[in-house]
């Protein structure tokens, strides 16, 4: 029990979570976060035609998720002008259509998981039909979430996205905050502001914006996850647990928050609450050595010596040269 109550153990575990939490929210170009739009149950398809009804083959269809990293897939239409994709997360999506010899078009849609989404029918106009060079070009109407915005706001969002990709958190935050003047209730934009603040290590502002998101959309899982991670990093066990309880279990794919709940519970001398937290961490990642180690310590406090010994042996099997390996071996020597 002496090992669990030492502050360095908690701090070490929380440092791991801090790295994971930040990566999961703000590093748009990173290999892990570039996939945060995958794994959902949404399906969408469509067809691209010309003004005479002819199918357009080879049209590039770019889908970008309106939340977090703004990542997404690029597709190409087939000979019949059709395209389709499934396995997307739900929420707002921006879709761009680009084909040689045609004018590019941009739309926004809201995809639902577990329900059939309407097929997207897109008609592209030939580039030759654009306004003559002598005529003043028509002003392009840009919309986000169905709301028309100025070109200045659109430019601010694009600059924010570029800054976010470059990990220029301050630049991203400044541009996103400018865009909020026209889009104060846009939750994906609020999410990016919160993520930028988190990148700047300004957790107070990140938490404030995350709470704004949940007030506008109580079902927004990513905001609740940010709140849970920040509260747990601060050692606020109950606040972290409340936030985690707001997230559907199938939306939580990172074991770290539950590992933190368990460690904080052990430090609070609540092994009965720590054990199920480690159970959930192991259910998400069965080869997580730390979860077996700490669950073993919790079970020792609960006098479940047989189960505790099995957990410690499993932790040693998974990480025989890990930072806790020596402590685990010493503990096992004391157990019958």
Q: Tokens 């995809």 sit at which residue?
A: 111
pTM: 0.57
Q: By the 8 A CB rule, do 56 and 97 touch?
A: no
Q: What is the CATH number of the domain that holds 84?
A: 2.60.40.1120
Q: What is the CATH number of the domain that holds 18?
A: 1.25.40.10
Q: By the 8 A CB rule, do 63 and 85 touch?
A: yes
Helices 169-180 and 151-165: crossing angle in degrees, nearest 10, is 160
The reply to whether 26 and 60 lie within a common domain is: no
Residue 182 lies in a domain: no
Q: How far, rounded to the nearest angstrom, does the alpha carbon of residue 309 sit from its chain's CA centroid?
A: 36
Helices 7-26 and 187-199: crossing angle in degrees, nearest 10, is 130
Among the three residues 84, 107, 125, which one is the final residue of a domain in this structure?
Answer: 125
pLDDT category at 141 given cuts 50, 70, 90 is low
Neighbours of 253 (CB within 10 A): 10
Give Cβ neighbours of residue 221 (< 8 Å, ≥ 6 apart).
246, 247, 248, 251
The reply to whether 22 and 74 lie within a common domain is: no
Residue 46: which of 77, 19, 90, 20 has the closest Cα?
77
The reply to whether 272 and 296 lie within a common domain is: yes
Helices 325-333 and 289-301: crossing angle in degrees, nearest 10, is 30
The reply to whether 30 and 114 lie within a common domain is: no
> Residue 117 belongs to what domain range?
38-125
The reply to whether 56 and 11 lie within a common domain is: no
pLDDT digits (tens, 9 = 90+) for 293-331: 999 999 999 999 999 999 999 999 999 999 999 999 999
The reply to whether 28 and 111 lie within a common domain is: no
Beta-bridged to residue 76, according to DSSP, are 60
pLDDT digits (tens, 9 = 90+) for 33-73: 445 788 788 899 999 999 999 999 999 999 998 876 678 89
Q: What angle do CA 289, 294, 298 make, to 5 degrees?
A: 145
Among the three residues 125, 154, 177, which one is the final residue of a domain in this structure?
Answer: 125
Q: How many domains does the chain have?
A: 2
Report d(CA 235, CA 260) in Å as an integer.
9
pLDDT digits (tens, 9 = 90+) for 221-247: 999 999 999 999 999 999 999 999 999
Q: By the 8 A CB rule, do 217 and 62 touch?
A: no
């Amino acid at each position: 029990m002496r090992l669990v109550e030492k502050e360095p153990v908690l701090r070490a575990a929380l440092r791991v979570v801090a790295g994971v939490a930040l990566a999961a929210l703000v590093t748009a170009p990173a290999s892990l976060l570039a996939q945060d739009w995958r794994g959902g149950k949404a399906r969408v398809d469509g067809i691209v035609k010309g003004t005479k009804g002819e199918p357009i083959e080879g049209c590039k269809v770019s889908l970008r998720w309106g939340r977090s990293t703004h990542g997404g897939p690029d597709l190409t239409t087939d000979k019949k002008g059709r395209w389709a994709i499934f396995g997307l997360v739900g929420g707002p999506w921006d879709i761009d259509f680009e084909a040689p010899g045609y004018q590019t078009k941009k739309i926004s849609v809201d995809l639902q998981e577990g329900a059939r989404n309407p097929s997207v029918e897109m008609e592209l106009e030939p580039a030759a039909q654009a306004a003559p060079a002598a005529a003043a070009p028509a002003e392009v109407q840009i919309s986000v979430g169905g709301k028309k915005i100025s070109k200045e706001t659109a430019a601010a969002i694009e600059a924010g996205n570029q800054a976010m990709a470059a990990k220029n958190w301050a630049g991203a935050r400044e541009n996103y905050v400018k865009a909020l003047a026209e889009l104060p209730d846009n939750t994906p934009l609020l999410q990016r502001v919160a993520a930028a603040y988190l990148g700047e290590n300004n957790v107070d502002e990140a938490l404030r914006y995350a709470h704004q998101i949940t007030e506008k959309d109580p079902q927004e899982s990513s905001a609740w996850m940010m709140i849970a991670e920040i509260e747990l990093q601060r050692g606020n066990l109950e606040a972290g647990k409340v936030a985690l309880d707001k997230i559907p279990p199938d939306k939580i794919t990172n074991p770290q928050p539950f590992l933190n709940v368990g460690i904080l519970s052990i430090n609070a001398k609540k092994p009965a609450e720590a054990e199920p937290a480690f159970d959930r961490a192991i259910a998400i990642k069965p080869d997580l050595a730390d979860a077996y180690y700490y669950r073993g310590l919790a079970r020792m406090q609960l006098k479940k010596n047989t189960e505790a010994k099995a957990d410690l042996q499993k932790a040693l099997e998974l990480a025989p040269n890990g930072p806790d390996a020596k402590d685990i071996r010493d503990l096992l020597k004391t157990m019958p």
